[in-house]
Structure 1
Amino acid sequence: MTVVVLLGVLLLVIAGCVCVFRDARGGAPRWVHVVAVVTIAAGEVLSRSSKRGRGSGGGGGGGDDD
C-alpha cells in the first residue's frame, strides 16, 4: 500500500515538473499554467519549511574528516 502511495506522489511530481517546463516554453493551455503555478508554490513552501526545520545548527556533517 505504501508503495502505491509513493508511486502516486512520484507521478504527481513528475507531471508537475512537465507542466512547469511546458508552461515556460509558452503556448500551453490554461490548465497547464495553473498546475505549473501550484507546483512552483508547493516547491517554495517545502523549501521554506525545510530551511526552518534545520534550526540554527551549522555545518551539519557530524563525521570525522581524516
Structure 2
Amino acid sequence: MVVVLGVVLALVVAGCGAVVWASRGGPRWVRGVATVTLAAGELVKRSGSNRNRSNGGSADGGIE
C-alpha cells in the first residue's frame, strides 16, 4: 500500500513539474504531459463536486 501511494505521489509531483515547465515554454512532450495532468485534475475536481452534491452538500463544503 505504501508503495502504491509513493508511486501516486511521484506521478503527482512530476505532473506539477510538467505544468510549471510547460508554462515556461518547455518541449512539446512536456506540454502534452501538462495537458494530461490538468485534465486529470479537472476530472478529480468534478468527481468530488458531483459526489458532494449527491450527498446533499454544497461544493464549497457548506460554508456560507
Sort the TM-score into its range (normalised by shorter chain): 0.7 to 0.9
Aligned to 2:9: 10
SS in 1 for 2:4: helix
Greater Cα radius of gyration, structure 1 or 2: 1
SS in 1 for 2:7: helix
Structure 1 unaligned segments of length 5 or more: list them: 61-66
Structure 2 unaligned segments of length 5 or more: list them: none
Scaled by the length of structure 2, the TM-score of the pair is 0.84
- Sequence identity of aligned pairs in percent? 52
Q: Which runs of 4+ in 1 moved over 6 A?
A: none
C-alpha RMSD over aligned residues: 1.3
| CA positional deviation for 1:22 | 0.4
Q: How many residues align?
A: 58
> Bigger relative contact order, structure 1 or 2, given CA contacts below 8 A and separation 6+?
1
Scaled by the length of structure 1, the TM-score of the pair is 0.81
